[in-house]
Amino acid sequence: MKSSVNNAVRRRATGAALVALVLGGGAVGCSKGAAQESPALTPAAAVAKAAKKTEDITSLRYRMTGKVPGEGRVSGEAAMSMKPLAMSMKMTAEDQATDGPVEIRLVGKAMYIGAGAEAAKEMNGKSWIKFDMSALGADKNLNADQLGGGQADKNPATESTFLTGSKNVKKVGTETVAGVRTTHYKGTVTLAEFRKSLQGRDKATREKREKALDQYSKMGIDAITMDMWIDGADHTKQFRMRGAADKGPLDMTVTFLEFNKPVTVTAPPAKDTVDLAEMMKGAQQG
């Protein structure tokens, strides 16, 4: 049973985890009003100002769509609170044969993944699998980083700061995104350029941004083309990231619907949940 459940969970979780990994970073912003730009504010300064505002995020809700390397087209919606840490994400892998959207919930130090109908057959009808993020690692085939848990504690504002390392940020024009007037900026940045731009930053900021950078290095991405749509309150309303990875193209667009609003995520009912650690411990003892 252990092997079949592991395989079912891995198929369900991998695509969602990659999205969570990519979107464990992001930008944030959602305010109404016309896009306004100071005559003295250069494109680079506007992007830097928006990046600075991401440091004050406490929660956000967003939707995403695009392509993930090795997984194909994905779409979904998520909500996340930074303090206390909690996340709820529903994701659909459109190019893969699955039995419905994958749902991930992060509550405290536990991550729950909706196992789907096939895995539920192997778990006496239970449809959720619980992963203790502080205890995972004993099973090399199902560890926290593979399932996206290694990215779960990141402030999902980090990737929006990548464009601050670009040397060719340009203003594209003004556009309406989800009913909000924004200013569209675009540029390219190599990972080496962004890493260099972190020199002189405070230790906490530098470490957080370097951690986000590392995930792209592991994908084999050397450079990122980025579009940002910034609203009149200097928040990033939407961003798009594109890059060439070892397993195919990365092309993700994230649109922010709310931020700094209450986010509540609850654990699935215990009667519908299997604890992976207990299940594996029982299998080992058996």
10-residue mean pLDDT series, the chain (286 residues): 51 52 43 47 91 84 88 88 86 76 87 80 84 59 43 55 87 95 94 83 77 82 93 91 92 89 93 80 55
DSSP 11-67: HHHHHHHHHHHHTTS-------S-----TT--HHHHHHHHHHHGGG--EEEEEEEEE
* Among candidate residues 239, 244, 212, 219, the one with its CA nearest the CA of residue 228: 239
| CATH topology assigned to domain 2-285 | outer membrane lipoprotein receptor (LolB), chain A (2.50.20)
Phi first, then psi: what are they for 179, rounded to 5°? 80, 5
pLDDT at 191: 87
* 121, containing H or E segment: helix 116-121
Q: Could you state, in order of their start, the residue ranges of all structural domains in the chain?
A: 2-285
pLDDT at 12: 53
pLDDT at 11: 52
Q: Please state the pTM of the whole predicted model.
A: 0.78
Phi first, then psi: what are they for 244, rounded to 5°? -100, 115
Residue 108, C-beta contacts closer than 8 angstroms, at least 6 positions apart = 84, 85, 86
